């Protein structure tokens, strides 16, 4: 018998927190995770003790090879969760997005009432060549990485085809950077927390034509955590519940060259369809979104893959200003990967942190006005995996 969502318990997001993102030579992966974990537990309105946690899922790629085996228990034990079952999730850049999905599944299935989902990465302690190698392991190894293709090169191919097919321009790519830096400048956790002009974003050095430096996210150290609980215990932790309304995931060929199209991410399209159906909503029902903008073209592809606009119209959407704070659908209010940073294993959980802050009204200068629903979108590699969550403030929905 196939279990449908109506047969399962509801899951709720009651807390979330992160470390700063950046380069922190004085920190370890354990200390960064502790910072995120303590921020998450401190954010729970009615309090949550580590002893309440039944299970944990931790996302990590393992850049540089540090503690590849049992890296999940290595960090959960460090924060006082010794003995709590912990599973490390590795799905490239979507690792902690999928860790969050696993936490939701554990709660919905009845296996646990309180689950920690988190992620971490240290990326700043290697040479640029070594970093490129570790980033490359998330692409197709034999025909992409070992032939010399980098991730910027892969996304440059996607950008080139989108530009040729739909008339997308370099200026439109640069507007993604300008918007996200404007948002990141309001985020105290952001690695590149400064504004940039359109001229800055257009005149930066080329990395992989047509992408330049301002079209690419940085490499980052950081950690993030989220706390998911069941409907049976949610009232113990908050009087303002944030429900996990929809979850969707998809996978695809790891290599870009193996796919039928370079102008979309089918895994994201499938994940979005599933998440919208489960939540019973459409893109127009969203009040904000955090999307995976590892490169500027990735955000534009997300607009189309997630139904924010029609195919080929992403360039016009970024130009319209509707995805800015104050627009009809603010995207990447945190600053996104571009400005906030991209510690691979932490990125998906970090998006959930922003969703929690927005729906709790605690996003500070970047707060969206009275949001009810938000979406997070986390992609692995160039689209080999994708996971989407839709969160809704249950109090706002019922009013």
Query: Is the separation of the CB atoms in 104 and 248 below 8 Å?
Result: no
Give the phi and the psi of residue 71 in degrees, each rounded to 5.
-70, -25
Residues whose CB falls within 8 Å of the CB of residue 3, separated by 6 or more in sequence, listed in order = none
Dihedral of alpha carbons 45, 332, 228, 3, sign: positive
Is 196 catalytic? The answer is no
CA distance 352 to 100: 9
The SS3 assignment for 197 reads coil
Active site residue 93: yes
Distance in angstroms (rounded) separating the CA atoms of residues 13 and 3: 22
C-alpha neighbours within 13 Å on the C-beta side of residue 96: 35
Catalytic one of 162, 181, 342, 389: 342
In DSSP terms, 230 is beta-bridged to 11
Distance CA 133, CA 141 (A): 10
Distance between CA atoms of residues 341 and 375, nearest Å: 19
Work out the angle between the directed axes of helices 151-166 and 296-305 (0-180°, nearest 10): 60
Catalytic amino acids?
93, 342
């Amino acid at each position: 018998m196939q279990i449908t969502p109506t047969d399962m318990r509801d899951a709720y997001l009651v807390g979330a927190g992160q470390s700063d993102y950046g380069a922190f030579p004085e920190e370890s992966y354990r200390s960064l995770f502790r910072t995120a974990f303590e921020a998450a537990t401190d954010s729970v309105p009615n309090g949550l003790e580590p002893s309440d946690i039944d299970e944990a899922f931790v996302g990590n790629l393992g850049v540089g090879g540090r503690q590849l085996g049992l890296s999940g228990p290595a960090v959960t034990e460090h924060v006082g969760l010794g003995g709590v079952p912990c599973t490390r999730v590795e799905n490239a850049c979507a690792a902690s997005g999928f860790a969050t999905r696993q936490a939701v599944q554990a709660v919905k299935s009845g296996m646990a009432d309180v689950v920690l989902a988190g992620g971490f990465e240290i990326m700043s302690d290697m040479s640029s060549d070594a970093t490129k190698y570790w980033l490359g392991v998330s692409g197709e190894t034999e025909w992409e990485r070992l032939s010399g293709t980098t991730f910027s090169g892969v996304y440059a191919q996607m950008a080139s085809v989108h530009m040729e097919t739909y008339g997308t321009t370099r200026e439109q790519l640069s507007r993604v950077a300008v918007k996200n830096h404007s948002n990141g400048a309001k985020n105290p956790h952001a690695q590149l927390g400064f504004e940039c002009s359109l001229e800055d974003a257009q005149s930066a050095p080329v990395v992989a034509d047509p992408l330049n430096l301002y079209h690419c996210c940085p490499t980052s150290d950081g950690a993030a955590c989220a706390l998911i609980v069941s409907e049976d215990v949610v009232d113990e932790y908050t009087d303002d519940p944030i429900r996990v309304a929809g979850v969707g995931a998809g996978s695809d060929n790891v290599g870009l060259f193996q796919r039928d199209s370079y102008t979309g991410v089918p895994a994201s399209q499938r994940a979005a369809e599933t998440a919208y159906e489960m939540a019973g909503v459409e893109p127009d029902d969203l009040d904000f979104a955090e999307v995976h903008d590892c490169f500027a073209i990735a955000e534009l592809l997300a607009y189309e893959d997630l139904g924010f606009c029609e195919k080929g119209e992403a360039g016009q959407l970024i130009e319209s200003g509707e995805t800015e704070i104050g627009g009809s659908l603010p995207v990447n209010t945190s600053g996104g990967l571009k400005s906030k940073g991209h510690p691979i294993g932490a990125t998906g959980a970090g998006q959930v942190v922003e969703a929690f802050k927005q729906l709790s009204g605690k996003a500070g200068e970047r707060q969206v006005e009275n949001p009810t629903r938000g979406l997070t979108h986390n992609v692995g590699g160039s689209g080999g995996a994708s996971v989407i969550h839709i969160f809704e403030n249950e109090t706002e929905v019922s009013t």
